[in-house]
Amino acid sequence: MKTRGPDLDMYLEGKKKRYVTYVQGASIYRMNYYTFVRLAKEAGANIRSRKTVVVDLDIFDAYIMSFAEKEEDENGLQTERG
């Protein structure tokens, strides 16, 4: 008999935070799968439940934006974000 993992959809339904798998996240951010995995781990945005890992996009976005802010400060330039 095959066992199923936890029903993450039921747990995540109605939550304000956004969670995705590695494949979904790489697709959303249009980046290589392994690059997305590495950045998610560096950001500490991974949430592990047995063999399933989801990424908290709120934490991931904040991590990515910190690079944009650093670059902006280093160059002394302000770019318009849309």
Residue 2 forms part of a structural domain: no
Residue 26 forms part of a structural domain: yes
Domain that holds residue 59: 17-75
Give the pLDDT of residue 14. Answer: 62
- Written as six digits, the tokens of 31 are 């980046």
Q: Which residues contact 43 (CB under 8 A, 6 or more apart)?
A: 59, 60, 62, 63, 64
Residues 18 and 56: beta-carbon distance below 8 Å: yes
Average pLDDT of span 54-76:
83
Q: How confident is the model at residue 8 (pLDDT cuts 50, 70, 90)?
A: low
Average pLDDT of span 42-53:
91
**Does 76 score more than 50 pLDDT?**
yes
Residue 82 forms part of a structural domain: no
Residue 8 forms part of a structural domain: no
Please state the domain count of the chain: 1
Q: What is the CA 7 to chain-centroid distance, rounded? A: 20
- How do residues 25-46 score in pLDDT, each as one tens digit? 999 999 999 999 999 999 999 9
Looking at every residue in the chain, the average pLDDT score rounds to 81
Output the pTM of the full model. 0.65
**Does 74 score more than 50 pLDDT?**
yes
